Every structure is written in C-alpha cells, then in structure tokens.
Chain A
Amino acid sequence: MTATSDIAIRADHASRTFHVPVREPGLAASLRSVVRRKTRAVRAVEDVSFTIERGEVVGFLGPNGAGKTTTLKLLSGLLHPTGGSVRVLDTDPARRDHDLLRRISLVMGQRQQLAWDIPPADSFDMLRVVYQVERSAYREQLDELVELLALEPVLDKPVRQLSLGERMKCELAAALIHRPEVLFLDEPTLGLDVQAQRRVREFVSTYAARSGATVLLTSHYMADIEALAERVLVIHHGRLQFDGALKELATRTSDRKLVTLHFDPAVSDEQERVVEVQRSELRERLGELLDLPGVLDFTVEDEPIERVMERVFESEAPARDEAVGASS
C-alpha cells in the first residue's frame, strides 16, 4: 500500500494505436478515397511500462515520432490507451477527474493556457478561480513565479505582443499557478534562444526542488536533460528502449570508448588525436596506442551522450504499421 502511494506515475504495458487515413497524392486518388477509404493502423506507443516515484525528475528522450508526446498525452488523460493502462497519482487520467486535473499540469509545444488578446495577469487570475487556488496561496505562488521567471515587465502586456521566449515563460507560469504535484513538460525550450533555454531550465530545476513535484520532461536538447534529470527513459519506434540513470545510458547502449591521445610537440606535428575503440578491445588497443611515437598523455571517456543517442535513433525503423484496412 505504501509502495503504491510513493509512485506518482505508472504505465503498465500501455499502447496507443491510431487509425490514419491513407491516400495517394492526386485528384484521381482523392476521388477514389471518397468511395473507398483506406486506413492504416499506426502503433504510436507499444507495450510501454515504467513507474516514476513522487518527487523524481525524469527525462524522456527519443527522436521525432518516437512516441514521447503520445505517452505524455496518455499520462495526462488527453488520450485513452488502446492497450494496457496508465495511472497518475493512483487515478486513471483518462477519466479527467477534476480532483486529478487540479494536481497535474501538461505544458506542450503548442502553448495554450493564455488568452491571446489580454495580458497574462488576467489569464493567471482566471486560472486561479478555475483551479480553486486560495487568494493568499495564489499571490505567494505568483510572486515566486514572477521572480524565478523574471515576468514583471510582461505581466501587463497583451500576450500577442510578447516574444516567443516571454510567452513560453508565461505559459510555464500559467501551468504552475495551481502548484501541480505532477508536471509533464513537452519540449519546454523548443524554439528559445540559448539564454532563454538556460533560464527555463534553471526555473524547472528550482521549481521541482522547492515544490517536490514529479516532473517528466521531453526535450530534443540533451543539455536540458543533463541539467534536470538523473534518470532517463528512452523511447524509439514507440517502444521503451532504456530506463535508468543518465550516466548509465552511454555505458549500456554504447559499446565504444573514446581514447584521446596528447602528443609531444617536439616529436609530432599532431597535438591531439581522438580514437574510437570497442569497449571489449580497450586494453589491447590502449597498449598499441600508447606505443605510438610522442604520446605524452591520454584520457578514456564514454561516448558523448548526443552521439550515442544519434546512433540509437538512426537505427532502422521496424515495421510499426499494421496492414492497410479499407472501409467504404
């Protein structure tokens, strides 16, 4: 019983299949599709299982179309699973129970909590009432958000006049007005400049630490994941490929090490050379490399995580689409 309540998020063999219309390009194909409609079942998420404990900050990695956003939509209740189940704070999110909705938040790439034509302060106040936040708690939370995200100068400007970075920061604040216990962040830094990315990253880190919230975060930027999450989930072709510590990811998914050799300038024109070595051959190859003329020093490192990910994500896609079905 205690074990269950410590778990904030649980996916148990969760799957989601979409039926996508299929049509060849051109007018003739378009007319044919009117009488004979073809669909293809696309398994966006397949048999995904994991648990996340309360207070954990977990990174969710995967290339475009891997199933990250679909998983977040399943966990936030926007989508119903077509197989398996998901639970968030011991509740089925697809029931859209208002008590659960007051305890979670999802920030998606498409920002949508703020009304376009009025200042963010008015939207925040509306969300206060919708989420039933006491005035004093709201004031306290808003002050904290304004300070952490440096929102003071933009609070009274209509949202349509804000820059992308300013809007994103306001969207984050809007998503956190009710102090959610579980926060799903889908690409929170996408499209932001480096400084704004850093600011958002620092903010999420501080928020998670101060509030004890459980955070599941997707990002294309490894810097986001490295700064925020010790644990990562890697999803590819709809299936979970890895679940563990970020530092283990390179060791477990890569069989390569990088040996950097530093040469004596008096002996060699080359100052530095990086050699990729199979982990199993490291001892043997290291001996050979150190025998090279002029080697002064060396370092051995795991492959950078970006390169590991790149290679994992470049692998061939297995057949994920089921046979084309036809309906009239």
Chain B
Amino acid sequence: MSTRSGTVRRTVRGSLAAMRVDLLIAAQYRANMAMWSLASILQVVVYLAVWQAVAAASGGSTGGYSAAEFAGYFLVLLVVRDITYTWIPYELSGYVRSGKMSGLLLRPLHPIAYIGTSIFAFRIQSILTVVPIAAILFVMFDATVDVRAEAVVVALLVIPLAMSTRFLADALLSLASMWLTRIDGIRGMYYLLLLLLGGQFAPVDVLPEWLRTIALAMPFYWTLGYPTELLVGRAPMSDAWIGIAVLAAWTVALYAILQPAWRASTRAYEAVGS
C-alpha cells in the first residue's frame, strides 16, 4: 500500500515538473495557441449558425431548441469541449513515429501521465482564451440557457468524470499506434463518432431515435453532450445520478482496460525512428 502511494506521489511530482516545462513551452507559443483556440471556436460557431438557420426555417424551433437555445447549447459546449479536449491520439502516435516515445519509456514516469500533464498545461492557457470569447459570443448571438445552481454543483462532479473518461478513451485509442505506428484512419473514424454521437454536430435530442440510442450506449455523449445539457438546463436533475454513474462506470472500465492494453502495447512496440 505504501509502495503504491509512493508511486502515486512520485508520479504526481514528476507530472507537475513536466507540466511546468509544458507551461513554459505554451508561453512561447501564445500566437499558436490563440489560433488553435480560434479554429476550435469557429467550428462551433459554424454549427451554431447552421442550426439557428434551421430553427428559423422551421418556424422558430427544431427538436425543442429555439435559435437562442441552440446558441446557448453550442457556446456552453464550446467551453465543455475545451475543458475535456485531449490530443493524445496525435501526440502519442507522433512520439511513436519520431522515436521520442523511446525517450519517454526510459523515464521513471508513465508516458501517458507525462502526455496528460502536457495537455493539462496547454488546456489552462486555452481555457483562458475560450471562456471570454464564449461570453462575448453569448451576448452577440443573444443566447439563452437555463442555469440552475444545483446543476452547476452536479457539473462540478460530472466534468472531472467526463475529463477522465475522455482522457482514458483517447489514451486507449492512441495505444493502437504502438502496433500500427500510423493511426490516422482509426483516429479519423473516432473523431467522426465523437462529432456525431458526442453532441458536437447537433444536440443529441435533435438526432433520429436510433442514433440517439447508439449515442447513449457509447461514452462520447456522456463526455460532451451530457455535461453541456446539464449546464444549459436540458438534463433533468432527477436523472443526474444516472449521468454520474454512467461516467464513473466508463472511467473505471476504461482504466481497467488500459492497464493490460498498455502492457501489451509496450510488448508490441518496435522502437522505430530512434
């Protein structure tokens, strides 16, 4: 037990040291980070504008969302997406191809913990850009949300769970690069599912019934669409425990799968590019 807590303590200390380095790097690339955030914002604004147009053409609302509610949904989604976003599927496969993975594997710090802290460091800077812009867009698009205090409290639990679920799912997907080196195809499919079933292209309520059923059975909706619906007042508070339980179950299941998958992936790793 003490050995395990020692390992956790060492991992946290090592990760914080790695994060400090990543914050230094992020500070050097402020313009790059700003452009990245801008691109991310534009994508959401495009969907927002399209769905507002659809609502207007359908007599004021579609799938139970008015134009103002669509704006509220997409702008909250923008923030939730930014908080939960990871780029492990890019980062890890890039490290495998360039050979940098070998350097990480030789450190007494888990490479996924290292990459995770790097992402967290960049997220801090990104959120500082995205939140004020989302607030300005909120006013510009005349957005409406039904924020309830109890929903915000539940979100404080749901969002960390959504972050861990997303992080673990992304990490699991990235491990494919240890076998295949290039995972562009798999990654493209994964992001397409995240776009469609996660509630990024449209709120899940707007999707056909059969697609909604699939979305509820997969982790994507729970990491993005659900926290967003919770914050805009669309998810009933009486069912909040279901959201928490589903996310907790996904976190535990993905963590359990990640352990043997990691061991198998390091066995398959061929240390190319170094």
Residues of chain A whose beta carbon lies under 8 Å from any beta carbon of chain B: 18, 73, 76-80, 94, 96, 98-99, 101-102, 104-106, 108-110, 112-113, 115, 117-118, 122-123, 125-132, 158
In the assembled complex, the Cα of A112 lies from the Cα of B105 at a distance in Å of 11
Beyond A98-B108, A106-B102, 17 extra complex contacts between A and B, CB < 8 Å: A18-B270, A73-B271, A79-B269, A80-B266, A96-B266, A98-B10, A110-B273, A112-B102, A113-B103, A115-B21, A123-B21, A126-B21, A127-B107, A129-B13, A129-B16, A130-B107, A131-B108
Q: In the complex, are the beta carbons of B21 and A105 less than 8 A apart?
A: no
Tell me if B4 counts as interface (CB < 8 A to partner A): no
> In chain B, residues 6-21, which have Cβ atoms closer than 8 Å to a Cβ of chain A?
7, 10, 13-14, 16-18, 20-21
Q: Chain B 200-221, CB within 8 Å of chain A: the 1/0 string?
A: 0000000000000000000000
Known: A80-B267, A108-B274, A117-B29. A96 touches B18 (CB 8 A): no
In the assembled complex, the Cα of A158 lies from the Cα of B14 at a distance in Å of 22
Known: A122-B21, A122-B24, A123-B21. A76 touches B106 (CB 8 A): yes
Chain A residue numbers with a CB within 8 Å of B10 are 98, 132
In the assembled complex, the Cα of A99 lies from the Cα of B20 at a distance in Å of 24
A12 shortest CB reach to chain B, Å: 19
Q: Which residue of A lies closest to B273 (CB)?
A: A110
Q: Chain B 84-128, CB within 8 Å of chain A: the 1/0 string?
A: 000000000000001110110111110000000000000000000
Chain A residue numbers with a CB within 8 Å of B269 are 78-79
Q: In the complex, are the beta carbons of A129 and B14 less than 8 A apart?
A: yes
Tell me if B28 counts as interface (CB < 8 A to partner A): yes
B179 shortest CB reach to chain A, Å: 11
In the assembled complex, the Cα of A20 lies from the Cα of B101 at a distance in Å of 20
B6 shortest CB reach to chain A, Å: 10
Interface hub of A105, A110, A129 (most chain B Cβ within 10 A): A129
Q: Which of B17, B266, B267 contacts A129 (CB 8 A)?
A: B17
Q: In the complex, are the beta carbons of A130 and B99 less than 8 A apart?
A: no
B273 shortest CB reach to chain A, Å: 7
A69 shortest CB reach to chain B, Å: 8
Tell me if B25 counts as interface (CB < 8 A to partner A): yes
Q: In the complex, are the beta carbons of B17 and A126 less than 8 A apart?
A: yes
Q: Which residue of B lies closest to A101 (CB)?
A: B108
In the assembled complex, the Cα of A144 lies from the Cα of B28 at a distance in Å of 30
Q: In the complex, are the beta carbons of A79 and B271 less than 8 A apart?
A: yes
Interface hub of A77, A80, A106, A126 (most chain B Cβ within 10 A): A126
Chain B residue numbers with a CB within 8 Å of A130 are 14, 17-18, 107-109
Chain B residue numbers with a CB within 8 Å of A104 are 106
Chain B residue numbers with a CB within 8 Å of A131 are 107-108
In the assembled complex, the Cα of A208 lies from the Cα of B106 at a distance in Å of 21
In the assembled complex, the Cα of A289 lies from the Cα of B85 at a distance in Å of 81
Q: Which of B13, B106, B270, B274 contacts A105 (CB 8 A)?
A: B106
Interface hub of B20, B100, B103, B271 (most chain A Cβ within 10 A): B103
Q: Which residue of B lies closest to A132 (CB)?
A: B10
Q: Which residue of B lies closest to A115 (CB)?
A: B21
In the assembled complex, the Cα of A132 lies from the Cα of B107 at a distance in Å of 11
In the assembled complex, the Cα of A73 lies from the Cα of B102 at a distance in Å of 9
Instruction: Kindly list the 9 A-B residue pairs having the minimum CB-CB distance in the complex, ordered from nearest.
Output: A112-B103, A129-B17, A98-B108, A101-B108, A130-B14, A110-B274, A126-B17, A78-B271, A110-B99
Chain A residue numbers with a CB within 8 Å of B270 are 18, 79
Chain A residue numbers with a CB within 8 Å of B266 are 80, 94, 96
Q: Which residue of B lies closest to A18 (CB)?
A: B270
In the assembled complex, the Cα of A113 lies from the Cα of B17 at a distance in Å of 14
Chain A residue numbers with a CB within 8 Å of B24 are 117-118, 122
Q: In the complex, are the beta carbons of B105 and A78 less than 8 A apart?
A: yes
In the assembled complex, the Cα of A311 lies from the Cα of B109 at a distance in Å of 44
Q: In the complex, are the beta carbons of B108 and A102 less than 8 A apart?
A: yes
In the assembled complex, the Cα of A112 lies from the Cα of B274 at a distance in Å of 9
A14 shortest CB reach to chain B, Å: 15
Q: In the complex, are the beta carbons of A96 and B17 less than 8 A apart?
A: no
Q: Which of A18, A98, A109, A117 contacts B274 (CB 8 A)?
A: A109
Chain B residue numbers with a CB within 8 Å of A109 are 274
B109 shortest CB reach to chain A, Å: 5
Chain B residue numbers with a CB within 8 Å of A94 are 266-267
A127 shortest CB reach to chain B, Å: 8
Interface hub of A18, A96, A105, A132 (most chain B Cβ within 10 A): A96
A65 shortest CB reach to chain B, Å: 14
Q: Which of A76, A112, A127, A129 contacts B99 (CB 8 A)?
A: A112
Chain A residue numbers with a CB within 8 Å of B271 are 73, 78-79
